[in-house]
Amino acid sequence: MVLISKILFFTSHHGFYTVIILFIFFGLLSYLTKKAWFLAPIIPLAIINGLGGQFLNAWFLNKYGVESTAIITSDVETNSTLNEMYIHDYEAIVKELNGKYIPTFFSTTTAAIYPIENAIRIPGMGASFPVKFIPGYEKNIVILYNQSEGGKRALQYSMLAPINTAKIKYKADSTNKEFVQEYIEALEKYLKHYDDETYQAKLKELKQQLKELK
C-alpha cells in the first residue's frame, strides 16, 4: 500500500515528470522489442493522469487510508489560472499516528479531496481538518472536506436551499397543497440531519395545515 501511495502521489503531483517517465519506459520497450505499438499508450495515459490522477489518489486514500488531521501552514497564490481562478500552492503539516507532525504540500490542481466531485474546496489556513493517509507515507493525504468545519457549514447551507425555495412558494400561495407538501418534505429532509426547534414547530404547523386543506 505504501508503494502504491508513493506512486499515486508522484503521478498526481508531478504530471510533467510522469509524462517523461512514460516516454522513457514505453520508448525503451518499443526499442527493445522492435514493436512501435508500445508507443501508443503514452499519450492516453498522460491525458488520463492529467485529468484524473488526483481523483484516483483521493479514491485510493479514502478507501485504504487511516484517519488523522492536518493543518495548512502556507497559502500562496500563483500566476497560473484554472477556470479563470488563480491556482494556489499550499504547505501543510500532517499528524502521524504517533502524534508527531510531518510537512507536505499540494496545490489547487493536485489536492486529493473526498468526496470526489467537480469542485475544488480547500480548508482555510491554521484550522485543523480531517484527512486520511497510508501509514508509512503520511505526506500523501486526501482531504475529507465534508468532515471539516467548513465542509459541514457548506453542507448545511446546501440543505437550507430547498427550504428557502419552498418557503418562497408557500408565501406566494399558502393554500397550494403542492407548495405545502414541498415545504414539508424540505423541512423533514433537513431535520433528519440537524435539530432545530423553529423548523420542528413549522413542520408541525404545516402538517396540520395540509390535513385541513385535504
Q: Is the pLDDT of residue 10 over 70?
A: yes
> What residues make up the domain containing 195?
151-213
- Indicate if the pLDDT at residue 73 is higher than 90: yes
pLDDT score recorded for residue 105: 94
Total count of domains within the chain: 3
- Asked if the model's pLDDT at residue 214 lies above 70, the reply is no
Pinpoint the alpha helices (H) of the chain.
2-13, 15-33, 42-64, 149-172, 177-191, 197-213
Same domain, 80 and 131: yes
Among 145, 173, 189, identify where a domain stops.
Answer: 145
Please indicate, yes or no, whether residues 137 and 174 belong to a single structural domain of this protein: no
Q: Are residues 74 and 117 in the same domain?
A: yes
Same-domain check for residues 134 and 73: yes
Q: Do 141 and 72 sit in the same domain of this protein? A: yes
Lowest-pLDDT choice from 23-27, 97-101, 207-211: 23-27
Q: Looking at 94, 110, 145, which one is the last position of a domain?
A: 145
Whether 77 and 140 share a structural domain: yes
- CA dist 143 and 69 (Å) reads 9
Stretch 94-109: mean pLDDT, rounded? 94
Cα gap 139→104, rounded to integer Å = 5
Question: Tens digits of per-residue pLDDT, 28-67?
Answer: 877 778 777 777 777 777 777 777 788 999 999 999 999 9
Between 134 and 82, where is the model more confident? 134
Average pLDDT over residues 157-169: 92
Q: What three-state secondary structure class fits 65? A: coil
Examine the domain organization and report whether 73 and 132 are in the same domain. yes
Average confidence (pLDDT) over 163-175: 92
pLDDT at 149: 84
Confidence (pTM): 0.78
Do 131 and 159 share a domain, yes or no? no
**Mean residue pLDDT across the chain:** 89
Same domain, 180 and 204: yes
Q: In what order do the strands lie in the sheet with 137-144?
A: 101-107, 85-95, 66-82, 128-134, 137-144, 112-114
Q: Which of 145, 174, 189 is the last residue of a domain?
A: 145
Query: How far, CA to CA in Å, does 48 sit from each of 55, 59, 171?
Result: 11, 15, 49
